[in-house]
Amino acid sequence: MHVGHDEARDTFLAQLSAFEVAVRDLGSRQLLAPSRCLGWTVGDLIVHVHLALQEMLLGLVSPTDAAADSDAARYWQAPTPGDDDDLDGLRFVQRLGAAYRRPSGAVTHLLPTVAGVRSATTALRPGRVRFQGQVLTTGDFLATWAVELAVHHLDLLRDDDPPVPAALRLARLTVEALVGGAFPADWTDATVALLGTGRVRPDAAQIEAAPLARELPVLT
């Protein structure tokens, strides 16, 4: 699955702005509410996104002349830590979130990083970057981050302030590329994204309508 540089850049930047708007004015009580991620409050989720965007910056400043060896879908198939390591990561984010004097500190800390990522992305020229041991075209790299942010936007549980449609569409296409088939057209992109990431488990009716749903989740 390949995504062009301009399309991916525009989608990522739009989704980055949408996530920023969704969290910028959250009050402390809203930040203490549960997110869709196991064990994390909304504030913890923002801490995780902040750490992720800091890591993304490493890719934005790592151009390479090497040939691409991954793409916008295969990127997600790289080995992931075991359950114990995942739990360690969950606990680390919880502890980091708890270190802020008030939950709103997580948002205040996030915003300058958002601005830096926006500037670096705008300045990024088409080519290839090295990230997490993989080489991707800049379009595919930015597409993975549009998907990442769209999924975490869904994790905020802000139905009144949804992710950007183009980013959700990329999330759906990624899930379908990984599972090797398309899901029913009447399933929303958000539904496919939630099923594809394991946020929601398919029910019997969904499995009957799309047997491929048994293969989910495929994007973690």
Query: According to the model, what pLDDT value does residue 96 have?
Result: 84
SS3 155: helix
Do 163 and 28 contact (CB within 8 A), yes or no? no
Closest Cα to residue 219, out of 11, 77, 45, 87?
77
Tokens of 134: 């993989």
Query: According to the model, what pLDDT value does residue 85 have?
Result: 62
Distance CA 73, CA 198 (A): 16
Distance CA 148, CA 170 (A): 10
Do 216 and 203 contact (CB within 8 A), yes or no? no
Q: How would you write the pLDDT of the chain (220 residues) with one tens digit per residue?
A: 999 999 999 999 999 999 999 999 999 999 999 999 989 999 999 999 999 999 999 999 999 999 999 999 999 987 654 445 678 888 899 898 888 889 999 999 999 999 999 999 999 999 999 999 999 999 999 999 999 999 999 999 988 889 999 999 999 999 999 999 999 999 999 999 999 999 999 999 999 999 999 999 998 7
Give the chain's domains with CATH numbers.
5-167 (1.20.120.450)
What is the residue whose two structure tokens read 């750490």? Answer: 51
Query: According to the model, what pLDDT value does residue 90 have?
Result: 84
The DSSP secondary structure of 36-55, one letter per residue, reads SSTT-BHHHHHHHHHHHHHH
What pTM does this model have? 0.94
Query: According to the model, what pLDDT value does residue 80 have?
Result: 52
